[in-house]
Chains A and B, each alone.
Chain A
Amino acid sequence: MNPDGSSVSPAIEARGVAFHAGGRSILQNVDMAVAAGEIVTLIGPNGSGKTTLIRILLDVLKPDSGEVIRRPGLTVGYVPQKVAIDPALPLTVGRFLRLGGKAGDSDVAAVLAEVGLPAVAGRMLAGLSGGEFQRVLLGRALLRRPDLLILDEPTQGVDVGGQLDLYALIARVRRQRGCAILLVSHDLHLVMAATDRVICLNGHVCCHGHPEAVTGDPAYIALFGPRAAELAVYSHDHDHGHDLGGRVLGDREHPHHPHPHHAPPHRHDAA
């Protein structure tokens, strides 16, 4: 796969997508695309139609007008926003991962190692922490060998240190697998550094482009307030996070030790 997304045809593309529900317009004339090897982040306030757009891209909802063009043979991995599994349903991590499709024990072990959770396949799902659970969800999506990974608020319920770990992991997945990645987020400050392009949504695409450009855009400032511009460009370089990623993986073997030191010192400026 070509990591340089700009020169290849997009993995997925929305053209003029509109959607109404209950007499209210949710999305109007949305154009967007994600190419292989590219991380695109969808931001927007609550109710701006982010999740609706995701559902349309996933082919779970049909747009009222406009179209979604998927590259032929495209496999999509999806990490949903909220997964509340009834505590009465006994599931091990390994079984949960295998529910998504046909995967052997070795595939499960490999993907768990990839998301930094080796040796949890036999543990009960209900016993995982928020951060561990998000990684398992990512692992289930990765088991499908996706060309496009869609993550809806992947850091929900994860502490700040864990969020940085997750974004580092997502960056590594992109590097190693070269898949297209679409993130939905509203934690602006963390996501801005982890993304190639930002699409700012509020029913329609308000502005889009590189994070630095978007945060200076009047539409962005109008939507998130003037302070967001100073907050947002948080240039912690995740590509230099190799060491960080490595140490994080090491720490995962002692999950009871919190590791606030992994959060860079300037996170308080951003928060």
Chain B
Amino acid sequence: MIEDFVLRALIGGLGVALVAGPLGCFIVWRRMAYFGDSVAHSAVLGVALGIALGIDLGVGILIVCVLFALMLALLQHQHRLATDTLLGILSHTALAIGMVAVGLMDWLRVDLLGYLFGDVLSVTWADIGRIWGGGAVALAVLGFIWRPLLSMTVHEEMARAEGTPVAAIRVVFMLLIALVIAVAMKIVGILLITSLLIVPAAAARRFARTPEAMAVGAALIGALAVVGGLAASLNWDTPPGPSVVVVASTLFIVSLALGGLSRTDP
């Protein structure tokens, strides 16, 4: 008999994997892994905000992630500093300020480790509603902007010359990343969420001949990693979030080996 908390963890984890796979493919194709990381790091600030304002922590995280993503979108137009330098500064500053702010509220016992590495075994049905609801919205929007986003991922100027509203779609995509990071935090935490976005996508690359196949493959590999990671965690009493990431990375290495054997495309 499967225990209730295990079932909730599984449903929550699968919900995250299904949306993280397709979104993660675009993060890989557009080389935005560091952007994802930065937005995730800002989530600690969201926790602090949520506590300070006495609002739902999930809402606080979502607000901060969205604001941070928008700010990064604006700052990418400056040319004084390389984007990765800027992201490095902002991402760790946000993380540090968040930690300091939470630390100052010493009347509260906040489980920071849970935010940093996830707390999938304490997922509630409300969390699951948030994950699946947010995930469904994210997938629907991604499907809607799929073709223009793909076109501008291939070549932005060409897409623009062909009439794609590049700037608007870029902002929508960044907001999607913020949304998914905010709802997925509970599963693997701030420090590991990017891996759940990019590792399954990278693992799916070897087996895909179309972008859509890679997106579906990434969702399935992510789901496999969630199931495997939770099983490992329960069997050997390892931390669940990191276990999921370890399984995903193992699947990636396996994909390299298999892909090397059955390489069809040049």
Contacts and interface: CB of A to CB of B under 8 A. Distances in A.
Interface of A: 22, 55, 58-60, 76, 78, 80, 83, 85-86, 88-92, 95-96, 99-101, 124, 126-127, 140, 144, 150
Contact of B211 (A58, A89, A126, A127): A89
- Summarize A's interface: helix, strand, loop or mixed: loop
Contacts of B160: 58, 60
A91 B210 CA distance: 6
A128 B124 CA distance: 51
30 contacts: A55-B157, A58-B161, A59-B161, A60-B160, A78-B157, A83-B154, A85-B154, A85-B155, A86-B28, A86-B30, A86-B31, A88-B28, A88-B202, A88-B205, A89-B29, A89-B153, A89-B154, A90-B208, A91-B154, A96-B154, A99-B147, A99-B151, A99-B154, A100-B162, A124-B265, A124-B266, A127-B266, A140-B158, A144-B162, A150-B161
Contacts of B158: 78, 80, 83, 100, 140
Contacts of B151: 99-100
- Summarize B's interface: helix, strand, loop or mixed: helix
Q: Which 3 pairs from chain A and chain B are nearest by CB?
A: A127-B266, A78-B161, A124-B265
B32 to A, nearest CB: 11
A126 B265 contact: yes
Contacts of B205: 88, 90
Interface of B: 28-31, 79, 147, 150-151, 153-155, 157-158, 160-162, 201-202, 205, 208-211, 213-214, 265-266
Contact of B265 (A55, A86, A90, A144): A90
A80 B154 CA distance: 12
B168 to A, nearest CB: 15
A53 to B, nearest CB: 14
A93 B265 CA distance: 13
A95 B151 CA distance: 10
Given A78-B157, A88-B202, A92-B209, 9 more contacts: A59-B161, A78-B161, A80-B158, A90-B213, A99-B150, A99-B151, A100-B151, A124-B266, A127-B265
Identify which of B29, B157, B205, B213 gathers the most chain A CB atoms within 10 Å of its CB. Answer: B157
Identify which of B79, B210, B214, B265 gathers the most chain A CB atoms within 10 Å of its CB. Answer: B265
Contacts of A96: 154
A90 B214 contact: yes
Contacts of A91: 154, 210-211
Nearest to A124: B265
Contacts of A126: 265-266
A80 B209 contact: no
Nearest to A128: B266
Contacts of B30: 86
Contacts of A90: 205, 208-211, 213-214, 265
Given A90-B213, A96-B154, A126-B266, A76 B28 contact: no
A95 B31 CA distance: 21
Contacts of B154: 83, 85, 89, 91, 96, 99
A23 B30 CA distance: 31
Identify which of B31, B79, B155, B209 gathers the most chain A CB atoms within 10 Å of its CB. Answer: B155
Nearest to B79: A22
Contacts of A78: 157-158, 161-162
B148 to A, nearest CB: 9
Contact of B155 (A58, A83, A150): A83
Contacts of B157: 55, 58, 60, 78, 80
B155 A80 contact: yes
Contacts of A55: 157
